[in-house]
Structure formats: C-alpha cells, structure tokens
Amino acid sequence: MNAPLVIAHRGDSERRPENTLLAFESAVAVGAELVELDVQLSSDDQVVVIHDDRVDRTTNGEGAISEMTLGEIRGLSAGYPSRFGSAYEGERVPTLGEALQLLRGRARVMIEIKRATPDGAGGPGIEARVVEEIRRHDASDGVALISFDPAALKRVLALAPEVTRGQLFQGGQPEAVVQGALDCGASVVIAEKGMLSDALRDRAREADLRLGGWLIDDPAELPALRRFELFGIGTNRPAALLSALAGGDA
C-alpha cells in the first residue's frame, strides 16, 4: 500500500502564518503534494483565503470579512501577530487567484468552502465565484473542493461536475457518513481522526470513496492509522510527517 499523501493544513501552518502565500510556499518547500486552504467572500465579492469569517484572530485588524472590501482586507497584516509577533507583518491575506497561481504545477490544492452561499440579489455565491477562479486559472484538474456543508458540495456538483469534491466530517456513523458523501456527489471523505475505524474504511471502500483523516500532527500516531488505508492526512506539521513517512516510521 502507498503511503498517504500529506495535506498541508492551511499551508505549513505550524511554522508560518496560516493561509498565507508564505505558508503555502513553505509547504511546497518541505515536500507537501497537497495544500489545503479556506475561502471567504469579501463585501465586494472577492474570494479571499482566510479561515475565520472575521479577520480578528489572524490579522492585526478587526471586523467581519463579509463587511470589508478586498482593499480593506489587504491593508491588514496577515502575519498572525498573536502567534508570531512582528516576524511576518508584511504578509497579506491572499486572494484565491494568487494562491492558485503560486501552487500551479507544484502542488494540488484542496479549497474548503465553509458554508453554502447561493446566488442572490448581490450576485453569484461563493461556490460560483470559486469555480470561476478555478477555471480562470485552468486549475480544474489540480484542485478539489471540500466542505462540511453538503449544500455547498451539491452546488459545486451542479456548477462544475468536473471538479473533485470531498466532504469533511467531524462525527457520524460509518453508513451515514458514506451515504452523505454519495448524496452530495463527493468522491472523497475526510474524517476527523477520532472517527476513523475499520467499519468506516470498509464502507468507504465498498462505495469507491477515498478516505482521508484530519488533524494528525504527531508522527507517533501514524503507525496506528496505517490499517485505515488513508489516501491523505491533514496536518499542521507537514515537514514532521513527511520525514516520518520517508523514514519508514509510519
């Protein structure tokens, strides 16, 4: 069996400010083949790469992203000052387009949509905007769109059936998890590590779904996960896990 792919969660997020171009560059530099990132919509409908729906935690500003323009967001430092002080104060919240351009041909990208935002009076929702960016950068074959929200994945299926979809789970019984993923057209299940079981592995295999796990930051956990036949493992510490896998410690 092949070793699982290491999915750099928000980039090399233990060592660099999460969801920044610097974190993505660092993830590629240590050898990650898959980079995961999160997206939100600004008030002027630009797709920005940030996890929270507010800028408060990871920037030097305050406010809801949906109430801020791209220019206002870009005026903030994304250097995660509460963790890294002023070391990375020059980092900015990237756009999805910038991230795709940086990673093109260097790593595959998992784009997490936090929640569905259907098209409305204000224009296309986040799913349509993300698909637009993926197609603009000719990246359909190098990305997967993932979400906890089945409604978001169903919208992606309708908008871009050619793009791989994966459903994230934090709980649930194996049969319900697998059926939920199938119902929204996902080909990938990414389960919180406490959910992993022989039953989930077997149900996923029977349904021809690839199974991944998150978050695994301690290389000592890897041997116990081998039996689940994971295609990928999400981690904040890609360098440490890649080193353990390369050394046969998993």
83 — pLDDT class (breaks 50, 70, 90):
very high
CB contact burial 47-80 (16+ within 10 A = b; e otherwise): bbbbbeebbeebbbbeeebeebebebbbebbbbb
Domains, the chain, in order of start with CATH, read 5-246 (3.20.20.190)
Are the CB atoms for 190 and 233 separated by under 8 Å? no
User: Catalytic residue positions?
Assistant: 9, 51
Distance CA 106, CA 134 (A): 16
Only one residue has tokens 């939100």, namely 40
Angle at 34 between CA 187 and CA 242, to 5 degrees: 120
Distance CA 70, CA 172 (A): 37
Question: What is residue 140's DSSP assignment?
Answer: G
| Model pLDDT for residues 22-52, shown as the tens digit of each residue | 999 999 999 999 999 999 999 999 999 999 9
115 — pLDDT class (breaks 50, 70, 90):
confident
Comparing CA positions, the residue from 148, 137, 22, 149 lying closest to residue 80 is: 22
Distance CA 39, CA 103 (A): 16
Report how far Cα 215 is from the mean position of its chain's Cα atoms. 12
Distance CA 47, CA 60 (A): 20
Burial classification of residue 99, based on how many CB atoms lie within 10 Å of its CB (0-12 exposed, 13-18 middle, 19 or more buried): buried
As beta bridge partners, residue 110 has: 36, 144
pLDDT above 80: residue 118: no
Per-residue pLDDT at 117: 85
Distance CA 13, CA 59 (A): 14
Top pLDDT among 202 and 115 is at 202
Per-residue pLDDT at 241: 98
Per-residue pLDDT at 2: 81
The most confident of 118-122, 158-162, 244-248, by mean pLDDT:
158-162
| Model pLDDT for residues 124-142, shown as the tens digit of each residue | 899 999 999 999 999 999 9
